[in-house]
Amino acid sequence: MPDEHRIRVMDEADVRRALARMAREIVERNGGTDGLMLMGIHRRGTQIAAMLREEIERAEGVEVESGSIDITLYRDDLGTVGPRPIIGGSELPRSGIDGQVVVIVDDVAYTGRTVRAALNELGDWGRPRRILLCVLVDRGQRELPIQPDITGRWVHVTRDQRVDVLVPELDGDLAVDIIEIQPEAA
Amino acid sequence: MTDAPAPLGKDLIGLEGLTAEQIRTILDTAEPFKEISERRIKKVPVLRGKTIVNLFFEASTRTRISFEFAEKRLSADTVNISSSGSSVVKGETLVDTARNLEAMRIDMVVIRHGSSGAARFLSERIPSNVINAGDGWHEHPTQGLLDLLTIRDHAGRIEGLRVCIIGDILHSRVARSNIHGLLALGAEVGVCGPRTLLPPAPDELGVKVFTRVEEAIEWADALNVLRLQLERMQSGYVPSLREYNRIWGVTNARLEAAPKELLVLHPGPMNRGVEIDSDVADGPHSVILNQVTNGVAVRMAVLYLLAGGQPEKAEAAKQGAEG
For an interface test with B, give the residue of A86, A115, A176 to mutate (most B CBs within 10 A). Answer: A86
pLDDT above 60 for A28? yes
In this prediction, residue B20 carries a pLDDT of 96
Quick one: CA dihedral A150, A155, A156, A158, positive or negative? negative
The pLDDT of residue A44 is 93
CB A124 within 8 A of CB A81: no
Q: Are B139 and B104 in contact (CB under 8 A)?
A: no
Residues of chain B with pLDDT under 70: 1-4, 85, 89, 309-323
Report the distance separating Cα B63 and Cα B174, nearest Å: 12
Q: How far is residue B127's CA from residue A98's CA, in Å, rounded to a whole number?
A: 44
pLDDT for residue A75 is more than 60: yes
pLDDT of residue B73: 95
pTM: 0.85
Q: How many residues does chain A have?
A: 186
A46 vs B232 pLDDT, higher one: A46
How many Å apart are CA B85 and CA B87, to the nearest integer?
7
Closest to B51 (Cα-Cα) out of B262, B303, B289: B303
Indicate if the pLDDT at residue A66 is higher than 60. Answer: yes
Q: How buried is residue B84: exposed, middle or buried, by Cβ count under 10 Å (0-12/13-18/19+)?
A: exposed
Sequence-ordered alpha helix ranges (H) in chain A: 12-30, 44-60, 78-81, 113-125, 168-171
Please give the pLDDT value at position A150: 97
Residue of higher predicted confidence among A85 and B159? B159
Cα nearest neighbour of A107 on chain B = B323
Q: What is the ipTM of this complex?
A: 0.72
Handedness of CA A122, A126, A127, A128 (dihedral sign): negative
pLDDT classification of A61: cutoffs 50, 70, 90: very high
pLDDT interval class at A186 (50, 70, 90): very low
Q: How many CB atoms lie under 10 A from the CB of residue A146?
A: 16
Is the Cβ–Cβ distance between B227 and B268 less than 8 Å?
yes
Model confidence at A9, in pLDDT bands (50, 70, 90)?
very high
How big is chain B, counted in residues?
323
The C-alpha atoms of residue B248 and residue B276 are separated, in whole angstroms, by 9
**What is the spatial distance between Cα A115 and Cα A104, in angstroms, rounded to a whole number?**
8
Dihedrals phi, psi of A115, to nearest 5 degrees: -65, -40
Q: Which of A73-82, A89-98, B14-23 has the highest mean pLDDT?
A: B14-23
Closest by Cα among A57, A157, A43 to A107: A43
Is residue B167 within 8 Å of B197, Cβ to Cβ? yes
Q: How many CB atoms lie within 10 A of CB B162?
A: 17
As a whole number of angstroms, the distance between CA A64 and CA A56 comes to: 8
Chain B residues bordering chain A (beta-carbon distance below 8 Å) = 1-5, 7, 28-29, 31-33, 35-36, 39-41, 43-47, 74, 304-305, 307-311, 313-314, 316-317, 320-323
Confidence of residue A88 (pLDDT cuts 50, 70, 90): low
For residue A79, give the chain B residue with the closest CA.
Answer: B308
Q: Which of the four pLDDT bands, split at 50, 70 and 90, describes residue A11? A: very high
Among B36, B307, B313, whose Cβ lies nearest the Cβ of A81? Answer: B313
Query: Do the Cβ atoms of B4 and A111 come within 8 Å?
Result: no
**Rounded to the nearest 5°, which phi and psi values hold at B101?**
-65, -40
Tens of pLDDT, residues B6-41? 788 899 999 998 999 999 999 999 998 998 888 878
- Residues A1-19 have a mean pLDDT of 89
Return all residues near B177 (Cβ < 8 A) that are at least 6 apart: B14, B15, B139, B140, B141, B143, B144, B145
Contact B316 A90 (CB under 8 A): no
